[in-house]
Structure 1
């Protein structure tokens, strides 16, 4: 395609993204960030569900859609029609990777399942994303991030001790599943270079949600119960978390005993808190947090944030401001890193696009194309890859297939 950058790691790899909403599109976007040509298939009228979520950008885009669909082309196909299904199969034959998250059995019903598509492409890498184990008793259950956050125990470890279960601010299970899926696709692409064979990758939201419980999950297994919730604090490091200075919040993470000594002597000027047996080590500080932390909070609240940050930095203690989301996105740090880009938009005038977080050889991977308008690549992709004539494309459009 015209926007393919041959210097990127996945240049020459073509991905057919049949997925929608978040986990699958995130996987496709990661592959696109690395240079793959990603063809996103959408319904001609409705498009991806997320084109109707979030704040409107032009006629067919939203902030939600744009957050997971940079570096892609949009091709409209009605997969409920025989012609649409056949075109999708032909596109799969021209692709290295297929991503799908249809309801259980949906891909097979449309003639787009792995067994069907690999008949003409033995080296096809096919990634299926579902809510639950596709081979288990819950295979047909739909997967929704908020449900999975509850079922995977994530809500139970999030938030303050005296609050009800709390979900993460973003769709963490979907996002991690998308990233895990991209990792699996990359591994399969690497293996294919040696074997010439493809793979059927099966990813489940529940599996990925459980995995990101991480050390809390292992602690729970040893304890035989849920670990306590500490909110912004740390279960075994004190002081650690968000504290209120006289003029605003800041984050302080005193990770070692030597840092604690410097914190008391140089930052809050309380050397007496160093010498007490109850506070000498992290283990005893954690055990006596109910006594120590209120005392530290009182000292921190007496001082300006700028003064505290300067002292903390000089003492070599990890620290930082607590910024609002808009503050973070518009900060000098984000600007210097090139993390927020602006693209011209034919209807909205301009639109913001977050840049990939990866740097190769010192350079950030580029946003090669802004998130696509609905169907913007239909004619070009189907003409260049499948040889469909402009007359045939006009006929398919009149029939509602594209």
Structure 2
């Protein structure tokens, strides 16, 4: 399935073997699923934390079934994307024996992360109050749709719902049609980043005080933040942000233009950039100093005529002509690319964003690295996302010290669900 890509992406370059890890010694028990929770814990795993992903035996995280699926794996590309460097433990949380195992794991942990519907963890007896009795200094992060308390605590939420209800969708697209959602799960990803930041802050606070705490991050709260400064613009003016397509309501000229051979975007965020664009890029020094284009508001009022001038100039030459001129002039610009073009771009190759990592069944899989670059504690070498319950025995033996007989008794009691799924998976490998 991936063989045709082997020549395109290099093998991952290992980190120095003696380099320390930023979160070495930190254990995370992760009950989260889909994106917002798992992406947060993957960031921590990449930093060196031991992330133990608790999954329902057999079925596991629902994201495993998001396409495209690899024929040799029991999951698809989206799951691989946000679950690397974790250990999967398949536990039946409806089983008393299974719950006892997770309680014992929590008692050894630094962090618990969950994003179940409100009330689920309390019904299971592993909510924050219960967990801090097991581990007083525990840091307990709940990722929810609308918060764990109040009139909307029962509401379920997914990324697109947060996009529409926060006002984010109303800002994006063109003025003559309905607003458009971002296809990328930007609210899930940014919520994950916020959750990870919150956990790291709580770890620092615990280092100073010795005390853990509960953390709550709401998808909706985060989505409102992701509308950016539009919130305060509205409160200052009383006007809702309008859709401007690819142009900017705040700066001009900013938008998509056409060279002879394709589209590109320029962003003139201030007067000096505009002046450099006109004088050094399109050789119109007369317009760079023209009073009618002297300020941002002046240019915004004359956007159509200014875009027409630029559009006519840019159409005369290919991108390969304009890009070096704008780069030399210090004009922010970029090609309009597809995702496939972006990950194969010179910039992505220079930054080594995509590489190949080994996989026990598929041979190798592609990997997209975090944008974090530590000088002293580089992120860990990526290990592919696990199969459901792949590390159940390993984790329970290593952390809890259970022997083979006790594992067998727990298996018979149903703590690990129906083991037929695991045996079938092992047979395939």
Q: TM-score, normalised by structure 2?
A: 0.89
Write out per-residue CA displacement over residues 9-59 of structure 1, whole angstroms, 9 at most, x where no aligned residue: 110000000111111101111111211110001111101000001211332
Q: Which runs of 5+ in 1 are unaligned?
A: none
Aligned to 2:199: 185
Write out per-residue CA displacement over residues 55-77 of structure 1, whole angstroms, 9 at most, x where no aligned residue: 11332221111111111111111
Query: Are 2:58 and 1:38 equivalent residues in the alignment?
Result: no
8 Å contact from structure 1 (residues 24, 99) kept in 2: yes
Number of matched pairs: 399
Partners of 2:60 and 2:192 in 1: how far apart? 20
- CA shift at 1:134, angstroms? 1.6
Aligned to 1:217: 231
Paired residues for 1:88-99 under 5 Å = 88-99=102-113
Aligned to 2:150: 136
Aligned to 2:14: none
Task: Provide the secondary structure at the position in 2 that maps to 1:126.
Answer: strand
Compare 216-225 and 274-283 and name the one that shifted more. 274-283
Query: Are 2:288 and 1:278 equivalent residues in the alignment?
Result: no
8 Å contact from structure 1 (residues 5, 11) kept in 2: no
Q: Measured at CA, do residues 6 and 388 of structure 1 come closer, stay the same or move farther in structure 2, by a change above 3 Å?
A: farther
Q: Tell me which stretches of 4 or more aligned residues in structure 1 moved more than 4 Å.
A: none
Query: Are 2:265 and 1:255 equivalent residues in the alignment?
Result: no
8 Å contact from structure 1 (residues 124, 199) kept in 2: yes
Aligned to 1:351: 365
Q: Measured at CA, do residues 120 and 258 of structure 1 come closer, stay the same or move farther in structure 2, by a change above 3 Å?
A: closer
What is the aligned counterpart of 1:24 among 20, 29, 37? 37
Partners of 1:88 and 1:223 in 2: how far apart? 52
Structure 1 vs Structure 2 CA RMSD = 1.8
Compare 295-304 and 176-185 and name the one that shifted more. 295-304
Partners of 1:197 and 1:261 in 2: how far apart? 55
Write out per-residue CA displacement over residues 166-213 of structure 1, whole angstroms, 9 at most, x where no aligned residue: 111211111111111111111111111121111011111111111111
What is the aligned counterpart of 1:322 among 336, 360, 383? 336
Partners of 2:92 and 2:35 in 1: how far apart? 20
Partners of 1:196 and 1:258 in 2: how far apart? 51
Aligned to 1:168: 182
Q: Which runs of 5+ in 2 are unaligned?
A: 1-16, 417-429
Higher relative contact order by CA 8 Å / sep ≥ 6: 1 or 2? 2
Q: TM-score, normalised by structure 1?
A: 0.94
Partners of 1:351 and 1:397 in 2: how far apart? 32
Q: Measured at CA, do residues 338 and 397 of structure 1 come closer, stay the same or move farther in structure 2, by a change above 3 Å?
A: farther
Aligned to 2:419: none
